[in-house]
Structure 1
Amino acid sequence: MDAAAECTEALGGGPGTDPARAVATAFSRLEAHRRGWEQRTPLGVAEMRLLWLLRSAEEWTLRDITAHLGLEQSTVNRQVNAAVSAGLVTKLRTPGQPSFGFRASDEGVRRFEACVGEVLGRYQHALDALGEDAERFVDLLDRFVDDLVAERPGAD
């Protein structure tokens, strides 16, 4: 039994399942496959997260990156320096600025886009299979996620 089937079985998904459990089962299956895709990509999760952030034209300081990613400064420092050494990130010194700035290198952007393109291609294939329902699906999913992650008084 593969990981996705184990998730479905553990959540009790299947025909006749209540809608909340069916959604949990579908997300669980998606997450299991997403993790598999991440493990097969040439870039690691940390590199992808960093390049996602740094691919814009603006420069980011270590402090900015730390705050945005919600990680320890030492972790960010190690990940950024490794990405600089690998040629994925460019370290910049802006005159008059006390801190170094960082931005994705051209090679980093190229490799990031190649990895993201593979996953986006899978998503597009699945959307194409929905035909004319694809746009409605995206709208409903966006609304669902917005409501799911909305802060609720008294909720953790």
Structure 2
Amino acid sequence: MRPRPKTDWTTTRSSREEATLPLDADLPADRKVAALISRLDRAQREQSRTMELGTADLRILWMFADGKSRTLKEIAAELSLEQSTVNRQINAAMAEGLLQRSRRSGDSAHEISRTEKGARIFEDDVATALTAFASGLDALGDRVDDFLEDFTRFVAAYGSAVGPDDSAVGSDTQ
């Protein structure tokens, strides 16, 4: 096992400063990828502090971007979460005015849908996130298509290596 590089934990850097630091040339490719993903995660966490929605609300509202109402059971299945967890998250989002509950005539199950407020806040937060992604893609110049093709293959192979195929659960490419 290779010794880990020493880290000066007393130095704090912003995600912008950290992103521009060169990677150790002696690191193997898998560790370079891990370091880059760690940097990306840190930048995304920093960005999330500027957004109105938390991660759970954002995930739930993303699902409703297709305009379809869903029952708690359907939401739990699409998110691969326990129904009790989804119920708690839905109730919190409803308390914030992001979601609403309704019942179709003659149906016993409640259906959940986005409110206008939920849609507006979601779209604002997504626009913020997409602006940052566009900035990253702009830095690639004319290599964007190659990057996206390579990154798609990387994500698929990584996903296959870490877990079972969950494509039947729902798409995250809305």
1:4-153 pair list within 5 angstroms: 13-150=23-160
What is the rounded CA distance, in whole Å, between the counterparts of 1:82 and 1:149 in structure 2?
31
TM-score when normalising by structure 2: 0.76
Classify the secondary structure of the residue corresponding to 1:59: coil
Over 3 Å counting, the alpha-carbon distance change for 1:152 and 1:90 in structure 2 is closer
**Aligned equivalents of 2:105, 2:65: Cα separation in 1:** 22
Deviation at 1:152, TM superposition (A): 7.9
Q: Percent identity?
A: 34
Q: C-alpha separation between the residues in 2 aligned to 1:25 and 1:59?
A: 39
Distance 2:125 2:50 in 1: 10
Q: Which has the higher contact order (CA 8 A, sep 6+)?
A: 2
Q: Any conservation in 2 of the 1:56–1:103 contact (CA below 8 Å)?
A: no
**What runs of 5+ residues in structure 2 fail to find an aligned partner?**
1-11, 164-174
How many residue pairs are counted as aligned between the two chains? 148
The separation in 2 between residues aligned to 1:75 and 1:57, in whole angstroms, is 22
Question: d(CA) in 2 for partners of 1:121 and 1:152?
Answer: 30
Paired residue type of 1:75: T
**With structure 1 as the length reference, what TM-score do the two structures score?**
0.84
Deviation digits for residues 94-121 of structure 1, max 9, x if unmatched? 1232100011112211111111111110
**Equivalent pair of 1:89/1:104 in contact (CA under 8 Å):** yes
- Runs of 4+, deviation exceeding 4 Å: 3-6
Q: Could you report, residue by residue, the CA deviation over 1:49-74 in whole angstroms, capped at 9, with x for unpaired residues?
A: 11011222211101111122222322
Change (3 A) 1:152 1:84: closer
Q: Distance in 2 between matches of 1:71 and 1:2?
A: 35
Specify the SS of the correspondent of 1:87: coil
Unaligned runs of 5+ in 1: 7-12
